[in-house]
Structure 1
Amino acid sequence: MNNAIKSPLETALAGKKHIIWDWNGTILDDVSYAVDTINWQLARHDRPQLSFAEYRAIFDFPIRQYYDRLGFDYARASFETLCHEYVEQYMSGYQICRPFEPVLGVLRASRSQCEHQSILSASEQSSLEQMIAHFAIGDLFDHIQGIDNRFAASKLDSGRRLIETSGVGCEDTVMVGDTLHDVEVARALGIDIVLVDHGHHSREKLLGADVNVVSV
């Protein structure tokens, strides 16, 4: 990164050789769209709607825990069916979302400054690759790592594979995310974590994790 004044996020990433980015809510500005999508599903299953603030308070990983909190009747529709239904609806209209412009600026700047830059997401691999191709930003990343199903239980195993593939030590690796699950994953992997406050968890919720939380 250059001699210009750095953003808090750029400062937090300085000196790292491998930056691992979460996708939804961290790079992709999709929180409002996610609220609309879950409210569409809640309406289909006769459940109350969520406000933006309620969504950011209740959303969590594993997704099964989040759906439990929403009160879905699994006798009427199984969790697996609900996951497929949500992903199909989300993927039918995600094109209205856009990557956060300030984050794109950091991505482009850090691309020339670190050895590796990757995405680690709880999205299904094929869906993740489709979205990144749509926004034409695949050239910013060395590795794109999703998961092999639509149930978004955890991305810890994927994270282990990603670190092994990169060949960069944990002490030189940092993760950028927007949820408490990202904190859990980073701690389990033994890497540093920086959280952005514009994503699927509110700043207030993130501050409870006692990690670096930045505005971009």
Structure 2
Amino acid sequence: MTKHIVWDWNGTLFHDIHAVVEATNAVFEPHGLAPYDVEGFRAVYSRPIWAAYERMLGRSLLDGEWERLDFEFHEHYHRLMPECGLAADALSTLRSWEESGGGQSLLSMWAHDRLVPKVTELGIARRFLRIDGLLAGFGSRKAESMVAHLAALGVDPADVLVIGDSLDDAHAAQHVGARAVLYSGGVTGRAALATCGVPVVDTLADALDHA
């Protein structure tokens, strides 16, 4: 039985797929790449992201190129992000789980100092027992962050359901012994999500059916 849900942010609770695609197109336009639409982007997206960039370019990245492309992406993304908001059923789903008596927290690989103000701005910070984003100087693997997140909460991984839009979310759940549900509204295509062997849903509300 699930007692606690760990939510992902970007692409899950926060509906930012269009900003991600537009930022990616802006980065690669000078390289002569045709713009992607959402489904085209999902078809080429994978992690690590540098490997996806190599597929887009059709060549290996040059020394220092990954860092430059990543910086440019985030510059464009943060310019476009104010146009984004919560997923259509995010608020009602958070409220429903809270009213059922379950606990919930937020774990993101987005910068902590940007994550917390955005969650607060959107009026949902109080619904989480803990909010963790990526801190400077720490590793960027979600599995490692999940270990620290659950330890800080003091919850048993066996009682936890992780809900996210990426294979990394499922891998992080498996790493700690939690369960996972993957949501198709983010950056990863549904077919790729289905390869992970966990339930895949098209709405956040449907994810609660697996809690």
Q: TM-score range by the shorter chain?
A: 0.7 to 0.9
Counterpart check, 1:189 vs 2:162: no
Tell me which residue corresponds to 2:88.
Answer: 101
Cα offsets for 1:178-215 (capped at 9, x unmatched): 11121111111211001112221122221222211112
Q: Which amino acid aligns with 1:25?
A: G
Counterpart check, 1:54 vs 2:40: yes
CA distance in 2, matches of 1:131, 1:46: 34
CA distance in 1, matches of 2:135, 2:67: 14
Contact 2:144–2:172 (8 Å) recurs in 1: no
Contact 2:162–2:179 (8 Å) recurs in 1: yes
* Deviation for aligned residue 1:50: 2.1
Match of residue 28, structure 2, among 42, 48, 54 = 42
Tell me which residue corresponds to 1:131.
Answer: 118
* Deviation for aligned residue 1:112: 3.3
Tell me which residue corresponds to 1:83.
Answer: 70
* Deviation for aligned residue 1:150: 10
Match of residue 99, structure 2, among 109, 112, 117 = 112
Secondary structure in 2 matching 1:210: coil
Change (3 A) 1:116 1:167: same
Cα offsets for 1:95-123 (capped at 9, x unmatched): 11111131221111112334531111111
Tell me which residue corresponds to 1:11.
Answer: none
Contact 1:19–1:174 (8 Å) recurs in 2: yes
Q: Which runs of 5+ in 2 are unaligned?
A: 204-211
* Deviation for aligned residue 1:26: 0.7
- Point out the more displaced range, 183-192 or 76-85: 76-85
Contact 1:62–1:154 (8 Å) recurs in 2: no
* Deviation for aligned residue 1:30: 1.0
Tell me which residue corresponds to 1:6.
Answer: none
* Deviation for aligned residue 1:141: 1.0
Change (3 A) 1:50 1:153: farther
Change (3 A) 1:35 1:81: same
Q: What is the Cα-based RMSD across aligned positions, in Å?
A: 2.3
CA distance in 2, matches of 1:134, 1:91: 15
Q: Which amino acid aligns with 1:55?
A: F
Secondary structure in 2 matching 1:34: helix
Cα offsets for 1:43-77 (capped at 9, x unmatched): 13433432321211222222222223222774485
Tell me which residue corresponds to 1:21.
Answer: 7
CA distance in 2, matches of 1:151, 1:55: 28
Contact 1:116–1:142 (8 Å) recurs in 2: yes
Identical positions, percent? 28
CA distance in 2, matches of 1:47, 1:127: 30
Change (3 A) 1:200 1:64: same
